[in-house]
Amino acid sequence: MAVTFDGINKQIILPSTGSYNVGIDLYGDWKEWVALTDNAKFFPAFDTTGGDDVGSGEEISPYFFLRTDLGWQIKAPEQDGDVIIRGNLFPRVAGQSMFLPSAGGFTVLISQNVSAQSLTRTSSSGGGLSIVDVKRAIRQSISPKDKAVIIKKAR
């Protein structure tokens, strides 16, 4: 389910509904596309930050910025359904729309799953997180609003 890129119109075209991982399906595919023939002549579609080692097996989580300042947008697929964008994707210019509707008038709900974490724990083979680390990560990933809902349901 590879996305396609239209460098002239600055569009990233989603082929179908479903789930897309920002780092793999959008940014990764874009890097491959840029390397093909003369696609590097087009303005870049993404900026990134993150991945820097901060010690203790942690690194800064990756963040991807769609270059909305250069006109890039993501076009919805030509079918009814849901699209889930997983990962830290933001417009380069806050408040600018990242998404375009389908051309055929289809109803597509696009939602984003963005991480609340700013650090990602890495582990070497044979290692892993302790139960305490896993519980801490779960507690940190639940927003205050979610905690209120969970507390109400527990009573």
Domain annotation covers residue 127: no
pLDDT tens for each residue of 56-87: 888 888 999 999 999 999 999 999 999 999 99
What is the reported pLDDT for 91?
Answer: 97
pLDDT tens for each residue of 109-152: 999 998 877 756 666 555 555 555 655 655 555 555 444 333 33
Quote the pTM value: 0.73
Domain count, the chain: 1
Q: In DSSP terms, which residues pair with 47 in a beta bridge?
A: 65
- Parent domain of 45: 4-116
pLDDT tens for each residue of 15-24: 999 999 999 9
pLDDT at 41 over 70: yes
Domain annotation covers residue 19: yes
Rounded Cα gap, residues 25 and 86, in angstroms: 10
Token readout for 118 is 């700013």
Per-chain mean pLDDT for the chain: 83
Domain annotation covers residue 63: yes
Domain annotation covers residue 146: no
Rounded Cα gap, residues 26 and 29, in angstroms: 5
Domain annotation covers residue 145: no
Domain annotation covers residue 124: no
Rounded Cα gap, residues 121 and 113, in angstroms: 19
What torsion, rounded to 10 degrees, do the Cα atoms 38, 39, 40, 44 define? 170
What is the reported pLDDT for 119?
Answer: 59
Rounded Cα gap, residues 61 and 26, in angstroms: 17
Domain annotation covers residue 147: no
Domain annotation covers residue 136: no
Helix H segments across 1-143? 29-35, 131-141
